[in-house]
Amino acid sequence: MKPLSGLDALFLHLETPATPMHVGAVHLLQLPKGHRGDFVDDVKRHVARRLPLSPVFTRQLAPMPLNFANPVWVRADEVDLDRHIHRIRLPRPGTQRQLEAAVARMHAKCMPRDRPLWAFHIIEGLQSGDLALYTKVHHATLDGAAGVAFAQALLDLTPKPRKVAPAPRRSGEHPSLADLVGTAVRTTGVQGVKLIRQLPQLATALAGLVKGGGAGFGRNLAFGPRTSFNGQIDAPRSFATASLPLDRVKVVAAAHGATINEVVLTVIGGALRRYLDAHGGVPRKSLIAAVPVSLREAGNTEATTLATMTLASLATDIEDAAARLVEVRAASAAAKAVMKQLRGAVPTDFPSLGLPWLLSAAAGLYGRLGVANRIPPIANLVVSNVPGPPMPFYLAGARLKTYWPVSIVEHGLGLNITLQSYAGSLDFGLIAARSGLPDLHRVARGLGEAFAELEAAPPPASSPEADNPASA
């Protein structure tokens, strides 16, 4: 048995039919020349050999009696791949829009909790002749960085799959009532001690921020303007994709003395300016992005969530692209200064006795009462940048041509833009609550338009040289 951390369990307790808490990715697949047979069967055989390589494949939830504490992970008796790997066929003509609409429908559905929390969908019928793969994994299982490690267990660097040594068959875990209660009590004690030990460090870090004038803390800690995607949401989703050439993004970053992430935030700000200008007008106040920050140490590939959030201005109130980047750089520097002081002091684990009842009830009430419609948004959207591999990956001999992420939206945060670098490209996956942002493809198109504008903009004469212009 493996207890869930407090942060991992949050994604379970806050999940409702309107706010599923799984993440995933969409890949276009190029089959090897001369491929024969059924690729879905190929994938099932491939995954069957890889099951021992990641706990994500084989662990499932064992709930506590009366749900009085967080569940624990246990090893499943078996993994029925027919319940995890599915075939989907698009209607003709099989366009990219149809693919994105199919992903939006599948991503809107919560995952069943009576089995390991992952699913693969092989999508046929694309007019390009490619196949597509849509993966779906619950966020309680892993974060973005751990997702990369999970992908590395599943995928290969060459069309010929690497050999995987067969693992001995292991029986499933079936903890008794006494085992579950004992684990809950012990885990709560450990979590409580850990939290108590972290509190002085957190208090010291916060005091240092206040004493130092906030180290720019106030620059980003301001309510964002209300937009159509900052209220209560329902289940239907819209999904769109975009890609930018990584080498050109690096050139722009170097020219402006910026990081790749600062260029990305500036481009997203420009895309949202275009969207808002066509849908009611651009707010005078800048939109604020909630940006996940990994707390994972180098080499840590544990399948769990180790991240926190910071806030960053997108400078959407500035029309000029180069001037917007200057402001984004300043806001980013302020956010980095805050995280430098708080890193290591932010708790990611905490006691869970009684929390499932409290959090599940609170999540349901928050949605039903429409609280997000009544309070100003601390942030307007989530923007997440996940470093990925510079080389292409292969699945059962098929080359992954794209790596578009699919993430989570919540009440008050009805838009999520997650990107991943992959094989020379920055691949963007945009997911939104359809009721609040029906024209999501306008935002996706705007990313390319905003990047072209920034690429053509001369950097300010006073722009300082970047310390590390090619970094993310």
Return the active site residues: 139
| Sign of the C-alpha dihedral computed for residues 460, 463, 466 and 472 taken in this order | negative
The C-alpha atoms of residue 43 and residue 40 are separated, in whole angstroms, by 5
Residues whose CB falls within 8 Å of the CB of residue 171, separated by 6 or more in sequence, listed in order? 75, 77
Cα 197 to chain center, whole Å? 29
Alpha carbons within 13 A on the beta-carbon side of 306: 17
- Cis preceding linkage at 93, omega within 30: yes
CA distance 79 to 35: 27
Cα–Cα distance measured from residue 292 to residue 383, given in angstroms and rounded to the nearest whole number = 7
Q: How is residue 377 written in tokens?
A: 């948004």
E strand or H helix at 110, and its extent? none
Q: Identify the CA nearest to 272 among candidates 239, 242, 314, 323.
A: 314
Contact between 472 and 259 under an 8 Å Cβ cutoff? The reply is yes
β-pairing verdict for 2-3 and 72-75: antiparallel
Classified as helix, coil or strand, 254 is helix
